[in-house]
Chain A
Amino acid sequence: MTDDPRNDPNMVSVPFIFVGHGDPLPVQWMAEHPDYIKVPAVMVPHGTRPPPPWGDAGVDQMAAARGAGLTAEPRVPGSFVPPPARQKRMWGGQPWPKDRNGGDWPKDRWGRPTRPLWDYPPGVHAPGEGVAPGAPGSIGAEKAIRAARTALAALDQATSRVFLASDRTETGSDGTQAPARGVASRYPGAYDVAQAGQGEETGRGARQPHLTPAQQAAIVAATQHWSNSNVPYVKGGKTIQGADCSGAVYGIYREAGINIKYESTEDFRGDPQFSPVTGGPEIGDVGWYKGHVVIYGGTTATNKDVWSASLPGGPDSGPAGSPWYGKPQWYRYNCTQQKN
């Protein structure tokens, strides 16, 4: 066991979220977590599934429902009526307790109050739901760990399949060969780890993203435009009329057609749109220093160049190895599937 939570086998480091069947996709969350993998799953509530509103869920009734034109369960909120017997079974006929603030717990999709297992005080547990986590014989923590390990194994397998898929090619209607499109074409918004076989593995199923050549060319063109425009340094500015260093990175990316969200230099490291670069920088990578950000411009000059906004004169280029620049932490835009 180390202090690094990523090395803790009991920790789940892969971002995941449960989305109810039939619920809309969490597009915002997906955009902010490009490393997630969508895993089809069938979630069965603990206990007996409530019957559909047209009666007991028998085969005959389902067939009759199909005959009446109902091909799936209605997904109208509130259409499910919880059976009273289930509530009695859950809480022994006692009223649902209030939360610690004296309020009511949120209702689940069947209108029943919810209560997280981990909220129970030591030694207290809900009737019919086993022993509270932490108590002798607890199923909560151990079960959660087992479930997490199982989920991680499934994710690793899924990721491996994605990597294999990226190595394949598919034949287009015109007979040309092209790399398999991977998961992103099936799950819009997900980061395509299989994109055209690009990227190197960085362990644990994650791949280092790469800007496409078109994106790099667009960033080069935008930065040269800014460099030739004598952009004045304006604190808080984000346009070619005036910008500071964080605003210049934002403005140049936007001009290149990559609609990143603005982050100040100090906040940049927490930007989910950028991932730390594990190898050397590539054109378009953003170098972060404490108090400053730059854009990497490649090796076209005598030294590795960076573009920087600073006093005076706005964005200009300079050698990455100059005394001031030193060695920044490089970050790379990771939403290569974003529609720009």
Chain B
Amino acid sequence: MGSVLIAAFVVATFSALAASPCDGVNHSLTTERRAVLAPVIAKQEHRPIVDILESFSFGGWNIIYINTHQSDETFLFYEHDPFSSHYITEWSGAARIDEGQTIKKWAEKRAPGFPQNSPVASLGM
């Protein structure tokens, strides 16, 4: 279920895909990177502690999925490296699978320049 939720969100936002909606999305997150990235994002979020749950990278953009322990888990959108730039927008909450188009429009508005050649339409969203 969780993978469905996150996949729906990432598919609706990241988009340049081939056979799988997630092809080309770098999902790797090493323990070392998680450890050094957490305090950086905690400072950006003005929270004492932030846990990095997942990371998605594509086309120079990054989405970092975090737990602040004070709110819903949040997706942070970075146009550049999270170490050297502040996120440009964030998204938290829940979405149904049939809300993919709504989220895509939201991403186009809030994160201009985000990779857009999306297979979302072909997925029926």
Contact = CB atoms under 8 A, between A and B. Distances in A.
A325 B1 CA distance: 8
A326 B4 contact: yes
A309 interface: yes
A326 B67 CA distance: 23
- What range describes how many residues of A lie at the interface? 20 to 34
Contacts of B90: 235
Interface residues of B, number: 26
A291 B71 contact: no
Given A291-B5, A326-B1, A266 B53 contact: yes
A324 B93 CA distance: 13
Given A324-B94, A324-B95, A267 B71 contact: no
B92 interface: yes
A264 interface: yes
Interface in B57-104: 67-74, 90, 92-99
Given A264-B68, A291-B73, A244 B5 contact: no
Contacts of A289: 1-2, 5, 94
B94 A264 contact: no
B6 interface: yes
Contact of B93 (A244, A264, A290, A326): A244
Interface of A: 233, 235-237, 244-247, 262, 264-267, 289-292, 308-311, 322-328
Interface of B: 1-6, 8, 51, 53, 67-74, 90, 92-99
